[in-house]
Structure 1
Amino acid sequence: MESDWRQNLVTTSDGIAQLLRDTRRIAVLGIKTEAQAGQPAFYVPEYLHNAGLDVVPVPVYYPDATRILGKPVYRRVADVPGPVDMVNVFRRSEDVAPHVDDILAAKPKAVWMQSGIRNEQAAQRFAEAGIKVVQDRCLMVEHRRVAR
């Protein structure tokens, strides 16, 4: 019997807490630079970095940026050396699709689409590949909740 990919869609508080306990290294797709410090795509990864997680910057723009949060920048998730526990996505819902193959190539354990980001087709492709998926939730908010 084929496994049901829907079991990889993480929607419960317990499921999210377990996912976060298993996460140490997060590639942040769409991270902003220090110059955009007031935007969630910078301050959420900054929070995670300060909380002790290994944050790997994967900006979509900012071609001149070589380091963000003091860490080297990668242009594709698949180019990040070593294993990635989670890809934290800061892209508009309609802009997630072009990144699906890149993310799949990196074989992360999980993909987390930030608040307001939901792409059912992408979520299904990740889930079918055995990757846990969270949509439309803030990683910083959930991490703070779990870390208590």
Structure 2
Amino acid sequence: MAFENPSRERIGDILASAGNIAIVGLSDKSDRTSYMVAYAMQNKGYRIIPVNPMVDGEILGEKCYHSLAEIPEPVDIVNVFRRSEFCAELAREAAAIGAKVLWLQQGVVSQEAAEIAAEAGMTAIMDRCIKVEEAITMQGRTRKTQ
């Protein structure tokens, strides 16, 4: 069966109820798209959790973890800035930590990752920018933060 992203209304519901967003592949370089997206989401009130095995310390004032498994608190959304071929394994890792949503950024598509997410009861979103979707779907809405 062909993959289909949730409706914009459903994406808005996901974002309205999201607290922690783990961002896999978040760069510590401010000129990178992942950094700009994370910065924008943080400024909208979302808690970002950087995940990058190449970075020790902090990104955007938040402790950076080397893997999803290291994160010591619940994660609502796993937002992925990695190439498609890495996404199936990341979907398994997201399932293992009990994430609710696997979100593959714009340009990232993995049918296998979407299937793994669905089998684990997660919602999968692919080839969409979380920052753009937040701007579109959250107009006039209030977040239900934890």
* 1:28–1:89 contact (8 Å) kept in structure 2: yes
Q: 2:66: which partner in 1? A: 75
* 1:44–1:140 contact (8 Å) kept in structure 2: yes
- Using the alignment, how far apart are the partners of 2:43 and 2:74 within structure 1? 20
Q: Which runs of 5+ in 2 are unaligned?
A: 140-146
Q: Which runs of 5+ in 1 are unaligned?
A: 1-5
- Using the alignment, how far apart are the partners of 2:53 and 2:127 within structure 1? 20
Q: 1:19: which partner in 2? A: 14
4+ long deviations beyond 3 Å? none
Larger helix fraction of residues: 1
* 1:30–1:61 contact (8 Å) kept in structure 2: no
SS of corresponding position for 1:45: helix
The percent of aligned pairs where both chains have the same amino acid is 32
Structure 1: which amino acid aligns with 2:12? A
1:36-115 correspondence runs (5 A): 36-62=29-55, 65-115=56-106
- Using the alignment, how far apart are the partners of 1:60 and 1:144 within structure 2? 29
What CA RMSD, in Å, does the superposition of the two structures yield over aligned residues? Answer: 1.7
- Using the alignment, how far apart are the partners of 2:104 and 2:120 within structure 1? 17
* 2:54–2:66 contact (8 Å) kept in structure 1: no
SS of corresponding position for 1:88: strand
Count matched residues. 138
TM-score when normalising by structure 2: 0.87
